[in-house]
Structure 1
Amino acid sequence: MAGGPGHPSGFNPHLPGFKHQFLAKALGATMWFFIFYRARQDGPKLLGLRHPWEGHGHGHHEEHAEHH
């Protein structure tokens, strides 16, 4: 029942075509680039090294001090 040399097991998947292989690699690379980009942006916040409300880089504190 298990098959062997010369006896097919009944399940013989075909290999994916070039288009599917290329698309899989492109989508996989896009996913990893996005994950690394988000890790670079939010990594310190997720690891507890920086608070989410610190370091926006928009100059809100300087702007707020000028108005008062």
Structure 2
Amino acid sequence: MAGPTGPGFHPHLPGFRHQFLAKALGASMWFFIFYRAREDGPKLLGLRHPWEGHGHGHDAHAEHKEHH
């Protein structure tokens, strides 16, 4: 069925709220991806072992065993 501008599909443009929501969700997705890449990137690429860098070393475990 032909429309006013010719045959084919003519979708309507999204409203301002939908455009804003799409940009906000897209930006939050990319911020989350870059945050996780910063946190887990070296482990994922094999540059660091997953068990390294937890903020507590083996010294804390040795002191705990001495107290028993």
Check whether TM > 0.5.
yes
Percent sequence identity over matched residues? 78
**4+ runs deviating over 3 angstroms:** none
Cα RMSD after superposing both structures: 1.8
TM-score of the aligned structures, taking structure 1 as reference length: 0.82
> 1:7, 1:26 → 2: CA distance?
33
| Larger proportion of strand | 2
Structure 2 segments unaligned to the other structure (5+ residues): none
TM-score, normalising length: structure 2: 0.82
* Displacement of 1:62: 2.0
Give the superposition deviation at 1:48: 0.2
Unmatched runs of 5 consecutive residues or more in structure 1? none
